[in-house]
Structure 1
């Protein structure tokens, strides 16, 4: 499967994981659910997560390959984010799409780790990598 197809799947799987997490946290108001979901699923948040994974050597060589497969497939940006952020986020989604098919335990571990990383950054107001 190509990087963008993996990213397509990874985007949906990660968003569902985040939505389930937010519901489990007791959030029930739709507006608040949406605001919180964006904090975890935006291109900027995904870029922060994958940058953290890479800087802390959390990913193995195969996972890095699938991250790069998605990152290198994204040659355009979106109106609200720059190209590099879009590429990094697409790489993150590609990694999630790959793991979703090949190692769901590892996939869920990394998604939970990403959520915890973003949550920590939100609490201290400055954490972006380590």
Structure 2
């Protein structure tokens, strides 16, 4: 991020004068979710899925934060998100698949920790979660996140068994 972007964010993020405390500034209120860039949707979807996974993990462990962080990082990795997406793809509507496709096709830099395919599918998956969150379709969002978590858990369990044999 260059200095001018940083300066713009500081000036606008902390600006007073929203209609309701905590509400978005008026210039962002009327943007339809469908028009947001897929990487913006993925940014929100990534945050949501990370929080969802961390909250789920608290059901099992509350004291060892370093272990929790290591484990949640594995679950929310591009490779595991791609597995989760492929496991739930058949339950998605045409509209949801279109959002995933937009996210998959968005231009972005692929990290070394994932293959191009894994990263594209994970970006599509995150875009879908971001889209559902910003569209306030919270029941569907929870359903998809939960089913993806189950698929990822199953895959991680099977991988661990393969390694130990």
Q: TM-score, normalised by structure 1?
A: 0.88
Higher helix share: 1
Runs of 4+ more than 3 Å apart: none
Contact 1:74 1:86 in 2 (8 A): no
Residues 1:121 and 2:140 are matched in the alignment? no
Structure number, greater radius of gyration = 2
Q: Pick closer, same or farther for the CA change 1:53–1:79 going to 2, 3 Å.
A: same
Aligned equivalent of 2:22: none
Aligned length: 125
Q: TM-score, normalised by structure 2?
A: 0.70
What are structure 1's unaligned runs of at least 5 residues?
Answer: none
CA distance in 2, matches of 1:106, 1:10: 13
Aligned pairs for 1:74-113 (under 5 A) are 74-102=107-135, 103-113=137-147
CA RMSD of aligned residues (A): 1.7
CA distance in 1, matches of 2:91, 2:105: 20
